[in-house]
Amino acid sequence: MSTTTHSEQETKNLAAEFARTLHGGEVIFLEGDLGSGKTTFVRGVAEALGFVEPVRSPTFTIVNRYPVTQGAIRQILHVDLYRLKDPSELTALALEEELRRPDTVVFIEWADHADGLLGSPTYAIIFSVHDLEHQIILPLLPR
Ligand SMILES: Nc1ncnc2c1ncn2[C@@H]1O[C@H](COP(=O)(O)OP(=O)(O)O)[C@@H](O)[C@H]1O
Ligand SMILES: [Mg+2]
């Protein structure tokens, strides 16, 4: 499913719709250039699941954790590997222990910097910008 959004709010609305399909244990790769809307999308998911604090880009922290409560889901892990210099640095993050935990949903920006160490995602969402139109390609959403 390909959708075009024209504002940050529209992207967050789409993210909120996507958030309602999550059960826990999903790993989602967010692909696309800087500024294409990946972080905005995760912000929309976190807000939809009840996280009220501001969601900041994990560009420097690499991993942000947002405690939430929706069904079995207790936390969102928001990962940004843009600044990862070497895939071996992933070991220190001990992400494998949290990937696919049934109470956790993991969103990963720049997953390609992990050189395949993270395995395959449950979903990949693809972001791009053409002029002022942000295009988002999502899997068909389960209901
Ligand atoms: N339709 C839109 N969807 C998402 N972001 C948008 C949109 N229109 C404008 N923007 C702006 O584009 C930027 C997207 O940044 P961000 O979500 O941090 O991207 P990324 O994480 O992919 O680098 C933000 O400054 C946001 O306000
Ligand atoms: Mg980002």
Ligand 1 pocket residue status of 8, Cβ below 6 Å: yes
Q: Does domain 2-137 have CATH number 3.40.50.300?
A: yes
Ligand 1 pocket residue status of 64, Cβ below 6 Å: no
> Which of 90, 136, 137 has the alpha carbon at shortest distance from 110?
90
Task: Determine which residue's CA is closest to atom 13 belonging to ligand 1.
Answer: 35
- Strands (E) across the chain are located at 2-5, 27-31, 63-70, 73-80, 104-109, 123-130, 133-137
Ligand 1 pocket residue status of 44, Cβ below 6 Å: no
The domain ranges of the chain are: 2-137
Pair 98, 104: CB distance under 8 Å = yes
Among the residues of 60-128, which ranges form H helices?
Answer: 90-93
Q: Per-residue pLDDT tens for 32-48? A: 999 999 999 999 999 99
Q: Per-residue pLDDT tens for 104-135? A: 999 999 999 999 999 999 999 999 999 999 99
Residues with CB under 5 A from ligand 2 (ion): 38-39, 57, 109
Task: Determine which residue's CA is closest to atom 25 belonging to ligand 1.
Answer: 35
